[in-house]
């Protein structure tokens, strides 16, 4: 692509040679004359001065800080959000290619399954009775599509991903290795006759929307009844647990090692930080952000930024942490005051 084409793709402002050819994307420190790189912070100005990149993507404020370090002949494209723009450009310069083509001889496809002719099925993959696999889907090596499960168009199941019986994954999704869609929810009924627990049958399903990405070794449990639902555009990191009957709204982001307990309902555009925990049956308002390690023990009906365990408004949590930091010196000062002035009952 030429620099002018790149600028038009992201609605950017071009400074420099519009005909400069761009063949790839690379970090600032290793980019060559045919590469596009990006800059998002002024502290990297010295790296910019030493860079051999042919084209730079940055925002106006950062460029004001770094323009003095511009190498000779560098073409610059200014845009509002360089990281988003870089992702868009990268998709054009380096479109994904199927890692496996056609149907591997070792794939096991039930005769009653419906697999679109344009879908790719890798070695050792299993597609069970009544399953449906859409156009241009990629079922990776040793991936599994259970009985009557559905996988949408252009969806990718990386090696070892599992979509179990009766579950649905929409179009343009990505399931990373070891991801499990539709494992049993953790439903147990305590016995009235002793310490034993009786397993509650988990007969529902999981419904994953379109353009969803689910990270490696994350699990989305099937519902006890009905469905566990993951909304369109959600991005779920590695090692995330989503319990049975959870409803996750559209365009939510859930970061690694977080857990969402059964029947919790999260609105649209919620961000859940790493290692956060959400108890079952609570409701979280759309647009809410939970900082890392936030513990939600009751519903959050008002959108905002929350932190701490139990969850509280983020600024309140910051004030509490600042006070906690000061407790040790405050204790020493209090002890010194007590030594100077004995308690009233000790005064003669």
228 Cβ contact list (under 8 Å, min separation 6): 185, 204, 205, 206, 207, 220, 221, 222, 242, 243, 244, 245, 246, 247
**Lookup: tokens for 304:** 């905002």
Q: Is 346 helix (H, G, I), strand (E, B) or coil?
A: helix
Residue that is written with structure tokens 């402002």 in the block: 13
**What long-range pairs does 77-84 form, CB within 8 A, spacing at least 24?**
77/3, 77/6, 77/7, 77/10, 77/12, 77/13, 77/14, 77/15, 78/12, 78/13, 78/15, 79/10, 79/11, 79/12, 79/13, 82/38, 82/39, 82/40, 82/57, 82/58, 83/38, 83/40
Task: Specify the CATH number of the domain 3-93.
Answer: 3.40.1390.10
Q: Do 3-93 and 108-315 fold alike per CATH?
A: no
| Lowest mean pLDDT, pick from 200-204, 246-250, 277-281, 322-326 | 322-326
**Lookup: tokens for 271:** 């961000």
The pLDDT of 210-220, averaged and rounded, is 98
**Lookup: tokens for 265:** 């309902």
The predicted-structure confidence for 51-100, as pLDDT tens digits, reads as follows 999 999 999 999 999 999 999 889 999 999 988 998 888 888 777 766 77
For the chain, which residues make up each domain, given as ranges? 3-93, 108-315
The pLDDT value given to residue 274: 98
The predicted-structure confidence for 114-125, as pLDDT tens digits, reads as follows 999 999 999 999
pLDDT range class, residue 48, cuts 50, 70, 90: very high
Express as a percent the part of the chain with pLDDT over 90: 80
- pLDDT beyond 70 at 1: yes
pLDDT range class, residue 149, cuts 50, 70, 90: very high
**Considering only CA atoms, which of 291, 315, 287, 314 is closest in space to residue 301?**
287
The pTM (predicted TM-score) of the whole model is: 0.86
- pLDDT beyond 80 at 126: yes
The pLDDT of 177-197, averaged and rounded, is 94
The pLDDT of 264-286, averaged and rounded, is 98
Active site residue 244: yes
How many residues appear in the chain? 348
pLDDT range class, residue 31, cuts 50, 70, 90: very high
Homologous superfamily (CATH) of 108-315 is: Hexapeptide repeat proteins (2.160.10.10)
Cβ contact 175:161 at 8 Å:
yes
pLDDT range class, residue 129, cuts 50, 70, 90: very high
Q: Where are the beta strands (DSSP E) in 176-240?
A: 180-183, 188-190, 197-199, 205-208, 213-214, 219-221, 227-230, 235-236
**Which of 44, 120, 176, 244 is flagged as catalytic?**
244
């Amino acid at each position: 692509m030429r620099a002018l084409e790149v600028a038009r793709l992201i609605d950017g402002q071009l400074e420099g040679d519009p005909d400069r050819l761009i063949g790839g994307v690379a970090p600032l420190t290793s980019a060559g004359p045919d590469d596009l790189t990006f800059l998002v912070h002024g502290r990297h100005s010295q790296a910019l001065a030493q860079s051999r990149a042919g084209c730079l993507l940055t925002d106006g404020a950062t460029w004001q800080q770094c323009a003095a370090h511009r190498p000779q002949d560098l073409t610059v494209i200014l845009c509002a959000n360089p990281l988003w723009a870089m992702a868009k450009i990268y998709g054009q310069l380096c479109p994904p290619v199927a890692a496996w083509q056609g149907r591997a001889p070792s794939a096991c496809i039930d005769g009653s399954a419906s697999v679109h002719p344009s879908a790719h099925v890798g070695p050792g993959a299993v597609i069970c009775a009544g399953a449906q696999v859409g156009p241009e889907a990629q079922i990776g090596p040793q991936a599994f599509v259970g009985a009557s499960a559905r996988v949408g168009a252009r969806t990718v199941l990386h090696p070892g991903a599992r979509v179990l019986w009766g579950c649905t994954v929409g179009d343009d999704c990505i399931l990373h290795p070891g991801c499990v869609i539709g494992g049993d929810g953790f439903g147990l009924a305590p016995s009235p006759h002793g310490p034993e627990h009786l397993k509650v049958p988990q007969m529902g399903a999981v419904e994953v929307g379109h353009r969803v990405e689910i990270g490696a070794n994350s699990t989305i449990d099937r519902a006890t009844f009905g469905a566990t639902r993951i909304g369109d555009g959600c991005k779920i990191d590695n090692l995330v647990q989503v319990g049975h009957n959870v409803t996750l709204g559209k365009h939510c982001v859930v970061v690694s090692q977080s857990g969402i307990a059964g029947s919790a309902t999260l609105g649209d555009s919620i961000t859940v930080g790493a290692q956060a925990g959400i108890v079952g049956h609570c409701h979280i308002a759309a647009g809410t952000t939970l900082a890392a390690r936030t513990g939600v023990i009751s519903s959050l009906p008002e959108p905002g930024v929350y932190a701490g365990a139990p969850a509280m408004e983020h600024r309140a949590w910051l004030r509490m942490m600042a006070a906690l930091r000061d407790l040790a010196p405050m204790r020493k000062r209090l002890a010194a005051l007590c030594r100077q002035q004995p308690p009233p009952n000790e005064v003669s």
